[in-house]
Amino acid sequence: MDIYGHRGASGHAPENTMEAYKMAFDVYRADGIEIDVHYSKDGEMVVMHDFDISRTTDGNGMIFTKTLTELKMLSASAQYQGEGSFPDAKIPMLSEVLELVAQKNKKINIELKAGSFLYPKIEERIIEMVYDYHLEDKTLLSSFDHVSMVRCKEIDAKIKTGILSDCRMYQTAEYVKTTGADAYNGLYAAFTAEEVLSLRSAGLMVNCYTPNEGKEILAMIKLGMDIIITNYPGLAIKLRDQEQK
């Protein structure tokens, strides 16, 4: 069972920043991180969760309407309300994050935002960059755009993909298998023991995202998740290690 920092150690540092990723690895010993990728106006791949930059930065507008230079001028910690000060936090490029993951010999879950209907050829470009950093065996691509995940498999059958969902689904395992995906990434609160068993019987990885309270994380550990994606990787690792003793 692996523990990934959701947007890095986002419970302790500004989400989707190099500071949050380094903290996940160096302080909390996370096995991997989960990130989100968009295009900038000039076609650079940048890492942020929202389409609108105003929630996490001191800017306004949609991320794809700003050039990389404009995005790099923003503070990625401007709206951060947690402990600690991160005055130098910036919006990272995908290449910066992959370089860090490769350097630390860790794993990564890359969420593709909006797929090719908004970001042309994003699947091809991300897969190519994953290979550039020799991370093809340490990467899981995921998306709520399930067509995008099918496209990834068409581009490279060996790349691992995961179907994202934020609700309970009907005949989940059967549906995920039709996409060719390797994993199901579900909202932690929507899982049942029966569904986990069904997914496992279908040969699929079972991953959950954002259990952040101790009791939530412990419940997912007991269900036997392959990957737990949480804002608090340190807490999750502590609970996992206790359960495995």
Distance from C-alpha of 171 to C-alpha of 38, rounded to nearest angstrom: 31
The pLDDT value given to residue 116: 75
6, 12, 38, 146: which one is catalytic?
Answer: 6
- Map residue 67 onto helix, strand or coil: coil
- The residue annotated as part of the active site, out of 12, 49, 134, 146, is 49
In this predicted model, what pLDDT tens digit does every residue of 120-139 receive, in sequence order? 999 999 999 999 999 999 99
Beta strand segments in the chain, E: 2-6, 32-39, 45-47, 107-112, 139-143, 160-165, 183-187, 205-209, 227-230
Alpha-carbon distance of 22 to 121, in angstroms, equals 29
pLDDT < 50 positions in the chain = none
Pairing status of strand 45-47 against strand 32-39: antiparallel
Active site residue 38: no
Residue 210's pLDDT is 98
Cα(191)–Cα(54) distance, integer angstroms:
32
12 assigned to active site: no
pLDDT of residue 229: 98
- Cβ(68)–Cβ(144) under 8 Å? no
Local structure of residue 91 (DSSP, 8 states): P
Contact by Cβ (8 Å): 138, 108: yes
Residue 20: per-residue pLDDT:
98
Distance (Å) of CA 89 to CA 96, 178, 201, 223: 13, 41, 43, 36
What's the confidence (pLDDT) of residue 114? Answer: 79
- For position 75, what pLDDT does the model report? 98
Amino acid occupying residue 180: G
